[in-house]
Chain A
Amino acid sequence: MLKQTGRLALAAAVGLGLAAGAGAAKAQTPKSGGILNFVVGSKIPSFDGHQETTFGMIHPIRPFYSLLIRVNPANPSDPTDFECDLCEGDVPEATDGGTKYTFKIRKGVKFHDGTPLTSADIKATMDKIVFPPEGVPSARKAFFRAVESITTPDDHTVVFKLKFPTAAFIPALATPFNFVYSKKDLDEHGMEWHKANVNGTGPFKFVQHQPGAFVEGVKYQDYHLEGRPYLDGFKAIAAPKMAVRLQAIRGDRAAIEFRGFPPKARDDLVKALGDKITVQESDWNCVLLATPNQQRKPFDDARVRQALTLGIDRWGGSKYLSQIAIVKTVGGVIFPNHPLAATKEELVKLKGYGEDIEASRAEAKKLLADAGHSGLKVDFSNRGVDQPYKVVGTWLVDQWRKIGVDTQQRVQPSGPFYDTLRKKKDFDVSIDFNCQSVINPIADMTKFLGSAGNNYAGFEDPELEAIYAKIEKENDPKALRNLVRDYETRSLSDEASGIVTLWWYKINPHRSYVKGWKIAPSHYLAQHLDQVWLDK
């Protein structure tokens, strides 16, 4: 609170001090009032953040809730900048050799139904996420493997005790799906109640949900951050078709879409509306993968998998696909802008990342011939969503054709596609993705482990597991970086059990009157909207 108030005061002082540029400074002073209309391109499976994983839920529902800590919405691109939301002061440092975090909880915070917030609510929430009772789904339970216990010494203190020190804990805690629920609601209504009901401490109160049409929220007058939110309310309009979302912004029926548009849509909007449109762009903590099914022959042969990764011209793809799709950056297992991510010099040493694509393809053909699979036929499963799945899928078919692989693309709507990927597993290679919210490389990279619940390649690699076990406990930055390189080389190059294509690139064209919203490297972050205001 103090941090926020201080920032506001500073901003006001700077605005007042710049007398010569009073007009400009005044334009940047947040204005209160107005309703923000935005479009959402996906359905809401349920309102329960603890079990959902989609932006279709986060965008309309996140504004009703608070978190214990959150990514700083004024600086969401920084993977290390966190601030207190329901805790007081700064995010606490670890004590007891990095195994204990003590949070002081804000006083005077009330849920929308009037129930006061105490540390018991934080504990009940985190217990549901970290130690869910049997049968209660928790999508991010694995993020908190290091947590040993959660205790509440008093009504306004929560203590997290870890089994071992880990840099992954604070980012995991700031995950925007960790909505703080009222213990009273959990006790009285059970663990399923939040799937269809809303009661949070967020900047907006729930008004109504018309399924398939919109979600409406109104300003919460007792919100714990003084002067916030600026908006009187918001309306999240469901619009699954991109053309509809685009035209909604163009016709000013909606001001923004938070997930992102492809480059052509951006160009069309800018061409049509000029300075009435502001464009924000960022690398995206989402990577598109091609997952070979090692339960099927010949994809259990590392040479075949290496050939598939060698056949992909990532550098060329980055140059051209970024003009038609929401992918751009060449990277490894770590978000490209993170200090732990591989540099270009490190990347080009991996199979499939060399800049001489002809040499790579010659090696790929040789590997396929050595494995006895020249003229390999691949049943390639893809998701029936244009951006970026079908665009990248069609590109991959062409890339693999160049090493003599005959790929049949099988595109299915999301439901059957996931069924194929997760249950039936009747594919040779499938499109897959690793989309995370808070940049937390140590947690995010678990996707590449054979033992991970969200890895569908069907393999066991004890060596990779052993490297990861060291990574999890390593606190020396240099040693950690070296271990990450070993992990990356093992996963992407030596075994090629995971095939990284390109990292996503986020493009958000929005009405210029929308202020205060800064693009983050994830479409899940900074969606509480208490920082957003309308310059109308």
Chain B
Amino acid sequence: MTTVSESAVEAQVEDLEDKTPFWQKAKTMARKQPVGVAGLAVVILMIFAAIFAPWLTPYHPEYNDFANMLTPPGADYILGTDQFGRDIFTRILYGARTALFVGFAAATVGAVFGLVLGVASAYFGGMFDLIFQRIMDVFMAFPLIILALAVVATLGTGTQNVIIAITIPFIPQCARVVRSNALAIREIPYVDAARALGFGHMRIIMRHMAPNVMAPFLILFTAFVGQAILLEASLSYLGMGVQEPTPAWGLMLQGGAEEYAESAPWVAIWPGVAISLAVFGFNLFGDSVRDTLDPRLRSR
């Protein structure tokens, strides 16, 4: 019987690892996926704005300043002020925090739950899979925004409830996609081997199957972040999301779109631009991740 030491295996794996410097990889990636890199740049810019907002603007996002209400874009207020005299640029920077927090929280929780449930459904199969998938069908029968609205109407408004409302429709979406990939993995001999070794269901699901469906998971996750940002903005626009005076893009749009569309259009335009850019950025980035990770698309 031949035995191989653990350190020897690690050394072999190390040899196989790509030694190309990071900047070189980034350059290659930029050449291959220029659109994705543009999306990533928007995402990074957004994260930068959210983190460094207090240092990027002298104004407070919530304080009223009626002496400067509805000031057009200019030197003092580069994107103008709203009806309460609040600097729109400042509120957009701080609004990125709300968007990213809700976006990442909802996408992470929704995708992780979907991953676990989808893999478990594929692994157990039989009656469990049948019942679970029918439950998923019920959730997926509702359009995303309708389901989110129903959840907010039941739980009430506020950031926490908005995250829950957005998370719930994500779970079946992720579970369905992950399950279809996990069904193929279930049939691979190493899963049988793991069973034969007496590993528990949880270990097989979490350590042997879930890591192998990471590609669709990551693709879905990036798409979910963009969708969550859009949903949060939609709910806030409808008055069912986060509440004033919290800076949030949908809320800013709602406050200005109706009354000031003609006399102070900047109140509605800039939050609209911010929402579009963020969703666009995440979608472009998500598409590139898909193109990179999906083996069927990799050769194109």
The CA-CA distance from A397 to B158 in the complex, in Å, is 16
**B158 interface neighbour in A271, A323, A410, A416, Cβ under 8 Å:** A410
Which of the candidate stretches B210-218, B225-233, B258-266 sits at the interface with the other chain? Answer: B258-266
* B 50-84 contacts with A by CB, 8 A: 62-64, 66, 69, 83-84
Give the distance in Å from the alpha carbon of A411 to the alpha carbon of B262 in the complex.
26
Main secondary structure of the interface of B (DSSP, over half): loop
Cα A227 to Cα B142 with chains together (Å): 57
User: Once A and B bind, how many residue pairs between them come within 8 Å at the CB atom?
Assistant: 65
Q: What separation, in Å, do the CA atoms of A408 and B84 have in the docked complex?
A: 18
Asked if A264 meets B263 with Cβ closer than 8 Å, knowing A324-B83, A411-B239, A412-B157, the reply is yes
User: Which among A166-174, A348-356, A388-396, A440-448 touches the partner chain?
Assistant: A388-396
What's the tally of chain B residues with a CB closer than 8 Å to chain A? 22
> How far, in angstroms, from A412 to B158 measured CA to CA in the complex?
10
By a CB distance below 8 angstroms, the chain B residues around A393 are 244
**Docked pose: A390 CA to B255 CA in angstroms:** 9
A20 within 8 A of B: no
Q: Does B28 contact A (CB under 8 A)?
A: no
Is A316 an interface residue when CB atoms closer than 8 A count as contact?
yes
Query: Is A320 in contact with B259, judged by CB distance below 8 angstroms?
Result: no
CB atoms of A397 and B244 under 8 A apart: yes
Measured between beta carbons, the chain B residues less than 8 angstroms from A395 are 64, 84
Alpha-carbon distance between A323 and B260 when the two chains are bound, in angstroms: 12
Is the beta-carbon distance between A398 and B63 smaller than 8 angstroms? Answer: yes
Choose among B62, B157, B239, B258 the residue that contacts A242 (Cβ–Cβ < 8 A). Answer: B258
Question: If the complex has contacts A242-B258, A265-B259, are A412 and B62 also in contact, measured as CB distance less than 8 A?
Answer: no
- With both chains docked as a complex, state the minimum distance between the C-beta of A329 and any C-beta of chain B, in angstroms: 17
Q: Inside 8 A of B83's CB, which chain A residues have their CB?
A: 324, 391
Within 8 A of B (CB), among A301-339: 316, 319-320, 323-324
If A394-B244, A397-B244 touch, does A410 touch B157 (CB 8 Å cutoff)?
Answer: yes
CB nearest neighbor in A for B239: A384
Most central of A243, A268, A324, A409 by chain B CB within 10 Å: A324
- Of chain A, the residue at the smallest CB distance from B85 is A320
Is A262 an interface residue when CB atoms closer than 8 A count as contact? yes
> Nearest residue in A to B259 (C-beta to C-beta)?
A264
- Residues of chain A touching chain B, judged by Cβ–Cβ distance below 8 Å, are 241-243, 262, 264-265, 267-268, 271-272, 316, 319-320, 323-324, 384, 386, 390-391, 393-395, 397-398, 401, 408-413, 416
Q: List 15 A-B contacts (CB under 8 A).
A: A243-B258, A264-B263, A268-B263, A272-B262, A320-B66, A390-B244, A391-B83, A394-B245, A397-B62, A398-B84, A398-B245, A401-B62, A409-B243, A411-B243, A412-B156
Nearest 9 Cβ contacts at the A-B interface: A320-B66, A398-B64, A394-B244, A324-B83, A243-B258, A384-B239, A268-B262, A411-B243, A409-B243
